[in-house]
Amino acid sequence: MSDAPDDGALAAARAQLAAMPRGTATVRAFFDQASSTISYVVHDRATMRGAVIDSILDFDPASGRTSTASAKAIVAYVRDTGISVDWLLETHAHADHLSAAPWLAKILGGTIAIGEHIRDVQAVFGDIFNCGHEFRRDGSDFGRLFADGDRFAIGELPVTVLHVPGHTPACVAYVVGDVVFVGDTMFMPDYGSARADFPGGDAAQLFRSLRRILDLPGETPLFMCHDYLTANRSDHRWQSTVAEQRAGNVHARDGILEEDFVARRRARDSGLSMPTLLLPAVQVNMRAGRLPPPEPNGVAYLKIPVDRL
């Protein structure tokens, strides 16, 4: 176990996981090859109420064209299964894909939600993109902002929100019934953890967030938001358990100290290039997936700040 003191949100998540029979949350994954992102639909079989987590709006940076092909696959599954969508959940403001949450909300309904620290992301990137008065930095583009320990329900499935900053200030994990959606905080054991060098990122915070997730019961299923292949693995995977991560996560397994993690994370981050879609994605996702307002000619434009990052 971690030496970090317990807290109310983590205790509530543990209690929820201990009380839920295995298999109470039904999860369907959708893998996007272009960004190595996994979107999810999770639903409660008793009520057929559901949530979409980390959806994708396809975007071609060369042409500036968007497509709803990935989102339409989610719509088809939801309709074929008979799920009523109550929530469109974001684990953070993604830097590698645009969110399809507003489009899905028009088609399927549901409240778009994210962690309350999205305000911190909006403050930093609002300045970077020199957003005008039309840009709201109070999180009000989202229908719901979650604080650490907040609780809600998807049908009869209880949900506990854990704030897990480090990759970004706004990162959250969703404990849904008997499973956890960890966002970008954690990857499969052989790949480790997310980078922590974006504006507002912090490697020490990331380590503590990782250990917080690893303090959940060992048998808890964990669902990743991304999977990148390694030299020893040629098939994509996005599900592990707390026990598997504690035993084998190459960055944060049991026995690795915070100072060692921070040094390794910073060294690794210093050699990484920026994600291809960082600049388009963040300025859309910090608006809850909405494009900037159209200009007088009716066209929306995305900004590229020169020599700013």
Of 26, 57, 73, 50, nearest to 300 by C-alpha is 57
What pLDDT is recorded for position 309? Answer: 77
Mean pLDDT of 14-41: 95
Mean pLDDT of 112-141: 92
**pLDDT at residue 1 is higher than 60:** no
Is 40 in a helix, a strand, or coil? Answer: strand
CA 57/CA 69 separation, integer angstroms: 8
What pLDDT is recorded for position 231? Answer: 87
**pLDDT at residue 247 is higher than 60:** yes
Mean pLDDT of 39-66: 97
CA 60/CA 39 separation, integer angstroms: 19
DSSP state at residue 198: S
What pLDDT is recorded for position 121? Answer: 95
pLDDT tier, 4 (very low <50, low <70, confident <90, very high otherwise): very low
What pLDDT is recorded for position 133? Answer: 78
CA 131/CA 152 separation, integer angstroms: 33
| Residue 185 neighbours by CB under 8 Å, 6+ apart | 164, 166, 167, 171, 173, 193, 194, 206, 209, 210, 213
Of 174, 258, 150, nearest to 210 by C-alpha is 258
CA 252/CA 193 separation, integer angstroms: 8
Mean pLDDT of 267-293: 94
CA 58/CA 80 separation, integer angstroms: 22
Q: Which residue has the tokens 């609780």?
A: 151
Query: 10 Å Cβ neighbour count for 111?
Result: 16
List the domain boundaries for the chain: 25-285
What residues form DSSP beta bridges with 158? 153
* pLDDT tens, residue by residue, 131-190: 887 888 999 999 999 999 999 999 999 999 999 999 999 999 999 999 999 999 999 999
What residues form DSSP beta bridges with 59? 66
**pLDDT at residue 5 is higher than 80:** no
What pLDDT is recorded for position 6? Answer: 58
Query: 10 Å Cβ neighbour count for 31?
Result: 14
CATH topology for the 25-285 domain: Metallo-beta-lactamase; Chain A (3.60.15)
Which helix (H) or strand (E) segment holds residue 144: the answer is strand 144-146
Give the mean pLDDT of the chain: 95
Q: Are 59 and 97 in contact (CB under 8 A)?
A: yes
Distance of CA 12 to the CA centre of its chain: 21
Q: Which residue has the tokens 């996005």?
A: 238
More confident site: 130 or 134: 130
CA 25/CA 187 separation, integer angstroms: 21
pLDDT tier, 3 (very low <50, low <70, confident <90, very high otherwise): very low
Mean pLDDT of 225-246: 94
* pLDDT tens, residue by residue, 180-219: 999 999 999 999 999 999 999 999 999 999 999 999 999 9
CA distances from residue 58 to 32, 35, 127, 238, 294 in whole angstroms, order as listed: 9, 10, 26, 20, 19
Mean pLDDT of 12-28: 95
Count of residues in the chain = 309
Mean pLDDT of 67-94: 98
What pLDDT is recorded for position 134? Answer: 80
